Structure 1
Amino acid sequence: MPTRTTSNRTVALIGTRGYPSYYGGFETAVRRIAPYLADHGWDVTVYGRDGAQREDDPTRDPRVATRITRGVETKSLSTLSYGFTAVLDAALRKPDVALVMNVAHGFWLPLLKLRGVPTLVNVDGIEWERAKWGTLAKAVFRAGARTTAWWGDGLVCDAKAIARYWSRVFGVDGTFIPYGGDEPRSLPVPPESTHRGYALVVARFVPENTIEPFIEAAAVIAKTHDVIIVGSSGYGGELDERVAQLADANDRVHWLGHVSDDDRLFALWQHAGAYFHGHSVGGTNPALVQAMFCGIPIVARDTVYNREVLDDTGLFVEPRADAIAEAVTAVLDDPATQDRLAAAALARAREHYTWDGVCARYEEELARLAGR
């Protein structure tokens, strides 16, 4: 059973854009972990950036305090600068424990160590292997990982494969705690589609998400089935142009761009006939877990991370356009396979990836460190 606190302990959550924020996986985790800790007797403070959180969010828990620190708003310096000012402020305030998201903040952990604040660090994926980062950024992440291994009191790895990597490369052990998901209510079929009648992809347009091969596969799939593409690069570019051209040239291809409405996204997942998940780096991917909770047939790029999450509840393919098109089309043409995969994915999500289970494990680790 997870440890329960008997008196108010203080915890600082550092390294995200704030609370509540909807920017990415870390922010989603904080939206669930912070209220859970408050429910279990913790005084919770979440550090963030000015303008990055939704103050009028009806789901905001008033028991969760927020502190805004300054930083430099550039692609290369924002994470490090905001992390530094947040760690500095937390070191002065001296909480009982700090939950730090992202190894880039490993550089600043000695400041908390000097003040006697133990740290639990979520190491995320292996950022220095992501194609979207340049040489300098990769070096910074790698150095941050090394300093995290030296100075972090506890590590959270969101996949067992990530934990094995850290043990092998950095010589430290981490605690496996994945991301969680929500099982949505039954939602109506999206207007641009029919139930189980379309292929779906949801991803940022970066090379490691297998977008280029999927674009080629989509042209083949669209000969017989609708294809819905959710996502973009965020700044325009070649991949956005190729998807726009494909959608303009083919009535069966629908490009929706970024979808921020959860109900709309969940409905797209719920009713898809085949969801292609092409993420190739990182650990437990939040989008994959959420897709499983929506109960859909999943075709995934064959990686150690995707196999760990899905086990035998998905189909796995090589990152080639012909392999993707063949597998996705086969699932779209087979209602029995669709039903089997959808039911299996939902059952696995319910067993392994609930937010209650995830949050309980975070609290257990934080309580252990705070009580040292």
Structure 2
Amino acid sequence: MVGTRGVPARYGGFETAVEEVGSRLAERGHRVVVYCRPGDGERPAEYRRMELVHKGAMHRRSLETLSHTGLSVAHLLRHRTDVALVFNAANSPYLPLIRAARIPVATHVDGLEWKRDKWKGTGRRYYRLAESAAVRWSDGLIADAQGIADYYREEFHAPTRLIAYGAPRVAEESDLLAGLGLQPQGYHLLVARFEPENHVHTIVDGYRRSGARLPLIVVGSAPYADAYTARVHDLADDRVRFLGGVWDQRLLDQLYANAFSYLHGHSVGGTNPSLLRAIGAGAPTLAYDVVFNREVLGDSGAYFTTEADVAGVVEAAEADPAGHPARRAATRARAAGYDWDDVADKYELLCRDLADGVQVRARRPLTAQRVGSAPRLTGKAVES
């Protein structure tokens, strides 16, 4: 498993998937190797039966992922494996090296990275081209949301294996909340990296405009985002509390499980682990209105787009405290469709198909067109 920050999972969806899937495959008797970026602490050789290989990275936003994956792939080529799983289409330039070594490789393409505000100009064009390279050079593509699968089918005529993430079942405990001065069902919650496409600014500003009585608890931060973080803080009033990153998983789970509502602003990343954790905790969810979030929440959620919408859905939730138990039950019911054991089954089947030489999909040359200011890359691939 190549291309993530590695395990233990402390960052995002890729890392969570690697830990949850990799540990299950290891428990089933498979040898699982995970490439990790070194942290500030120790570099264990094993975690939850997975073998860990630690490789460095250049600490620049535009080069961090590629530099780490390059070192990881160099090691992988010297230590052969039956199958490689590459996470993030941005790492697609290394796919020809893996395939040249006759190692079957599948790429987890994630969300639409080129839509993220942090990528401008050259970075955005690179991500668009990286998508087409992943289609051309992967033996298989993995999408974690139907919206992403639809995008690759419509944009590239390329089929994917649809494998969503799992939703953890979060225990209903609350003993750690007192340390933060919080009461169960006594606050609204937002958990996100501080990036514009996660709409932290929209939620904080919309909440400030509302007549909400319960405080808004904000968990999260982001590297390389000082200006945006300052903007978000400037939008807040004294009802908003910023906790920064919360690395105590038990405390984070209790924040989810006891929130009166969870506000989710992610818009481009496919199926998001924060949203899945919220439904696993039964947190009634108010979400940004995009196809990925509706796919997870269905009718159990309420949706917003603007700051005025945020104010409206927060006030509506507070105006109906009697409906809170029903909203919790409806949200938790959505988690039943997102089971990590089922996810591991699908990854195991994909890996067996690749290792056994089963043709996962066929390639045809891609052509580039222009739509607006961004290249539109089209092609055709069909499942055998």
1:26 aligns with 2:22: no
Q: CA deviation at 1:34?
A: 1.5
Change in Cα spacing, 1:245 to 1:168, as seen in structure 2 (3 Å) is closer
Q: CA deviation at 1:60?
A: 2.6
1:284 aligns with 2:274: no
Change in Cα spacing, 1:52 to 1:304, as seen in structure 2 (3 Å) is farther
Change in Cα spacing, 1:329 to 1:75, as seen in structure 2 (3 Å) is same
Equivalent residue in structure 2 for 1:50, among 10, 14, 38: 38
Q: CA deviation at 1:333?
A: 2.3
User: Structure 2 counterpart of 1:290, which letter?
Assistant: R
Alpha-carbon distance between aligned partners in 1 of 2:70 and 2:44, rounded to the nearest angstrom: 27
Alpha-carbon distance between aligned partners in 1 of 2:322 and 2:230, rounded to the nearest angstrom: 36
Q: Give the structure 1 partner of residue 366 of structure 2.
A: none
Equivalent residue in structure 1 for 2:302, among 302, 315, 320: 315
Are the equivalent residues in 1 in contact too, given 2:144–2:162 (CA < 8 A)? yes
Per-residue deviation, residues 255-302 of structure 1 (Å, max 9, x unmatched): 111111111111111111111111111210110000100111111111
Deviates more, 1:272-281 or 1:187-196: 187-196
Deviates more, 1:35-44 or 1:229-238: 229-238
Per-residue deviation, residues 196-255 of structure 1 (Å, max 9, x unmatched): 2222111122111112221222223465222211123445634433544566x52x3221
Are the equivalent residues in 2 in contact too, given 1:102–1:124 (CA < 8 A)? yes
Alpha-carbon distance between aligned partners in 2 of 1:311 and 1:265, rounded to the nearest angstrom: 24
Aligned ranges 1:55-134 → 2 under 5 Å: 55=43, 60-61=47-48, 63-134=49-120
Alpha-carbon distance between aligned partners in 2 of 1:342 and 1:313, rounded to the nearest angstrom: 9
Aligned ranges 1:133-282 → 2 under 5 Å: 133-188=119-174, 190-191=177-178, 192-221=181-210, 223-235=212-224, 237-245=226-234, 250=238, 252-282=239-269
Q: CA deviation at 1:126?
A: 0.8
Change in Cα spacing, 1:239 to 1:137, as seen in structure 2 (3 Å) is closer
Per-residue deviation, residues 28-78 of structure 1 (Å, max 9, x unmatched): 111111221112221111112233776469x932x3212223443321112
Per-residue deviation, residues 316-361 of structure 1 (Å, max 9, x unmatched): 12x2111111111211221233222211111110x21121111111
Deviates more, 1:362-371 or 1:133-142: 133-142
Per-residue deviation, residues 145-195 of structure 1 (Å, max 9, x unmatched): 111101101111000110010011122100111111211222116233222
With structure 1 as the length reference, what TM-score do the two structures score? 0.89
User: Structure 1 counterpart of 2:59, which letter?
Assistant: E
Change in Cα spacing, 1:279 to 1:154, as seen in structure 2 (3 Å) is same
Q: Secondary structure at the match of 1:38?
A: helix
Q: Secondary structure at the match of 2:300?
A: coil
Q: Secondary structure at the match of 1:14?
A: coil
What's the % identity of the aligned pairs?
38
User: Structure 2 counterpart of 1:117, which letter?
Assistant: I
User: Structure 1 counterpart of 2:36, which letter?
Assistant: G
Change in Cα spacing, 1:174 to 1:239, as seen in structure 2 (3 Å) is same
Are the equivalent residues in 2 in contact too, given 1:313–1:345 (CA < 8 A)? yes
Q: Secondary structure at the match of 1:43?
A: coil
Change in Cα spacing, 1:338 to 1:53, as seen in structure 2 (3 Å) is farther
1:41 aligns with 2:29: yes
Alpha-carbon distance between aligned partners in 2 of 1:217 and 1:301, rounded to the nearest angstrom: 12
Q: Secondary structure at the match of 2:165?
A: coil
Unaligned regions of 5+ residues in structure 1, if any? Answer: 1-12
How many residues in Structure 1 have an aligned counterpart in Structure 2?
354
Change in Cα spacing, 1:242 to 1:348, as seen in structure 2 (3 Å) is same
With structure 2 as the length reference, what TM-score do the two structures score? 0.86
Equivalent residue in structure 1 for 2:285, among 290, 295, 298: 298
Alpha-carbon distance between aligned partners in 1 of 2:44 and 2:318, rounded to the nearest angstrom: 41
Are the equivalent residues in 2 in contact too, given 1:101–1:121 (CA < 8 A)? yes
Change in Cα spacing, 1:224 to 1:76, as seen in structure 2 (3 Å) is same
Q: CA deviation at 1:363?
A: 0.9
Q: Give the structure 1 partner of residue 345 of structure 2.
A: 360
Deviates more, 1:238-247 or 1:148-157: 238-247
Change in Cα spacing, 1:193 to 1:221, as seen in structure 2 (3 Å) is farther
Are the equivalent residues in 2 in contact too, given 1:243–1:255 (CA < 8 A)? no
Are the equivalent residues in 1 in contact too, given 2:201–2:235 (CA < 8 A)? no
Q: Secondary structure at the match of 1:305?
A: helix
Alpha-carbon distance between aligned partners in 1 of 2:225 and 2:57, rounded to the nearest angstrom: 26
Change in Cα spacing, 1:244 to 1:105, as seen in structure 2 (3 Å) is closer
Are the equivalent residues in 1 in contact too, given 2:212–2:314 (CA < 8 A)? no
Unaligned regions of 5+ residues in structure 2, if any? Answer: 358-384
Q: Secondary structure at the match of 1:179?
A: coil
Alpha-carbon distance between aligned partners in 2 of 1:69 and 1:210, rounded to the nearest angstrom: 33
